[in-house]
Structure 1
């Protein structure tokens, strides 16, 4: 039996050559959409930390928070984005596994012993050592690896989709906070104006120039202004928490957000925006998706070809002390199962993907048209409010106050003019917020800022290298 081992080991080295092959390619990430491309984003390391240390503590943004600061913090520390980054690494590991060949098998057989007569001992025993290897035909391994790599690319596109979604969420939360911050400041000024008006009326009542009812009405206005101020403060506190949560914080460390709502961008046409819709990662990913579905068909078609198991070894004949070679060859006969169902399923999946791609293009195009119409309406409303309505409401408020001091109008006219002025100022801030939220919706659908429309578009064929 010992004499068999050297021969068997030489056979194993021969069979092992079948397992030689290349490793899958490294992770590739699609080129980032222009929006936020200048900022680093979280990418999962190749060697994960098996503890909670991966929570990635960082210095909270403090003081005056700009939108750029918020983007930078969220792209590196958003928890949802991190899960998509790990999905890419998971697909990378699956591609590695798919590239590996089947393991060889070893078989050791001992017969013609333990019987009666001459076969009662081991002298006449026959020992066979056999090494076998499954050989995949039809380039199954290469096609399986290719499919796994495309699945990895799809995970990278899902990551890019999530990255743009994070930017959109941060922008919305930042604008909502900025609007509420300005509305709170406005409510504070409105309360100050209401108190100033109350002091004026109180002096007139004391001088006998106005009825005490006017003072009562003025006190109601002051009380209502105080209630509105508290309501705005509570809403602002909630919005600040929502903004901080985009980078994984429970409580905000920043004092206030720094931004200008009054800046209006040049309104692009819907045709210009529609020409950029292919930059939306939900659309751009379909090129890889269609290739992946075709790769699945190729692999399933290769599955129709049976694999061959080849075995080589040696047999030692104890009675004659001779050694003989053993060769084994086996393969299934593709009589009934030729993988027809899997091939048909993958073809149906490709047809479904074509329909899904058209549906995605229609869905994004419809959303873009809807967002553009909201943007156009908000732009028109802001322009009208700033140019006509607010100046007129301010003049009416000021003129009514002057007329009241001169005794020409009653205090109810002052209250009415004051309410109109306060409401108009709040309406302007709200309209500016709605305008900028519509801008964010459009930018999220085209994957870039409206201010960069004159810059060149990214080359979809390029990809960045692996980042551990």
Structure 2
């Protein structure tokens, strides 16, 4: 109690301020409640990604393998399948890990966007040098609580813009996953091709060795000139050089594949798979209708929505916010007090956020133009990849059905005739070179076909066999 029997008004005043502060804090905490599954996104231990846009069919093609693979699974030491390589890349690719962190960054920004402004408490002393005086001229203490109240739906619009930005981060992550899977598939095909080429060169070395042995025997028997034996040895040395080159190419291809999951030293022994035969192709028109599934294009729907949300947010900033003040003053000597309350609002005479609104509108126009450019770019890339695919398809078909059977038959006939003395050694070398070149060309055509098919799948966001089935 004070000297005049009145309660201590400063104590009551502080109690009122404390209650008002607690109420404001409770309201502020209700501004945004993060989803339960993302509540750990800001903890020291990384949380799993809980948000991502709809996956493309190309991603779902490998999703089962990725989900069924333990998080700590190491690279196999024996045979490596394409699914295993894709799962390893999705789990351990360092670039993907960086993109996943960007999604968590945007989750945190959504959380921040939903928070209310903090209240402000101020304490001010007046006339402190006149502590002996009574009344208004004496010393006094003023305590004031201020709260900024946002109008125009700013918080809701801010959250919406942050959520769309988070969706864009998810699309960027999706695009990177598609690119990584494409890189894995192409690197895996390169390893398969290098393995087959090495086997082909080893077969050629064996043939050259057999021919050299036959020539040596015929020279010893005096049936042909020793010059022919020299030629056979030169041919054998030449294919040994090709063998060394094929081994180095395989080593390089293996390292490039291992790099997709962040490894510098491949542990697998060989890639397990078949190059396979070429299949019939859907038309370019059918594939063009599917490019909307490409995440490079699908993301632009979210991009446009985000730009529109920013326009609404910037327009809401033109609506002035109000600041509510509540407090009081106590005079030190006589215990008098005065309660004060007020409201302040800025006068939007000059700055009505015109520049930022205009900037957001131009950003929307820019995004619309960029979407059209992306559509043209993807359609052009699809046409180029399809032409490469069709050319490789035609080349592989002709080589398999016409050239390879003829080259094999000619080599078998010449080789048999050489043993019987009907053909010269040059004829054997020529037939052998023709067969090897034909097999090498067929392998190169198969490699080009599957590499181009993988690129087409990336552009349409769907496996070719699925697109082919839709066209039938």
TM, length-normalised to structure 1? 0.90
Q: Which SS does the other structure have where 1:285 is aligned?
A: helix
Q: State the match for 1:12 in structure 2.
A: 21
Asked if the contact 1:36–1:71 (Cα under 8 Å) also holds between the matched residues in 2, the reply is no
Structure with greater helix percent? 2
| TM-aligned CA distance change 1:406 to 1:251, over 3 Å | same
Asked if the contact 1:41–1:75 (Cα under 8 Å) also holds between the matched residues in 2, the reply is no
Are positions 1:296 and 2:310 aligned together?
Answer: yes
1:23 alignment partner, one of 10, 25, 33: 33
Task: Report 1:19-418 matches (<5 A).
Answer: 19=28, 20-24=30-34, 27-37=50-60, 38-39=62-63, 58-115=73-130, 118=133, 124-418=138-432
Contiguous gaps of at least 5 residues in structure 1: 44-55, 457-468
Q: CA deviation at 1:110?
A: 1.4
Q: Which SS does the other structure have where 2:130 is aligned?
A: coil
Q: CA deviation at 1:405?
A: 3.0
Determine the C-alpha separation between the residues in 2 that align with 1:142 and 1:338.
20
TM, length-normalised to structure 2? 0.89
State the Cα deviation string for residues 401-458 of structure 1 (Å, max 9, x = none).
Answer: 23333333322222111111111111111111111001101111111211223678xx
Q: State the match for 2:438 in structure 1.
A: 424
| TM-aligned CA distance change 1:162 to 1:455, over 3 Å | farther
Q: Which SS does the other structure have where 2:133 is aligned?
A: helix
Determine the C-alpha separation between the residues in 1 that align with 2:464 and 2:87.
19
Q: CA deviation at 1:317?
A: 2.5
Q: CA deviation at 1:66?
A: 1.1
Q: Which moved more, 1:334-343 or 1:409-418?
A: 409-418
| TM-aligned CA distance change 1:42 to 1:413, over 3 Å | closer
Determine the C-alpha separation between the residues in 1 that align with 2:265 and 2:316.
56
Asked if the contact 2:123–2:141 (Cα under 8 Å) also holds between the matched residues in 1, the reply is yes
Q: Which SS does the other structure have where 1:348 is aligned?
A: helix
Q: Which SS does the other structure have where 1:29 is aligned?
A: coil
Q: CA deviation at 1:268?
A: 0.9
| TM-aligned CA distance change 1:395 to 1:132, over 3 Å | same
Determine the C-alpha separation between the residues in 2 that align with 1:398 and 1:331.
97
- Equivalenced residues, count: 444
State the Cα deviation string for residues 334-393 of structure 1 (Å, max 9, x = none).
Answer: 111111111111111111111100111111111111111111110100000011111111
Contiguous gaps of at least 5 residues in structure 2: 1-9, 39-49
Higher RCO (C-alpha 8 Å, min separation 6)? 1
State the Cα deviation string for residues 60-96 of structure 1 (Å, max 9, x = none).
Answer: 1221111111111111111111111111110000111
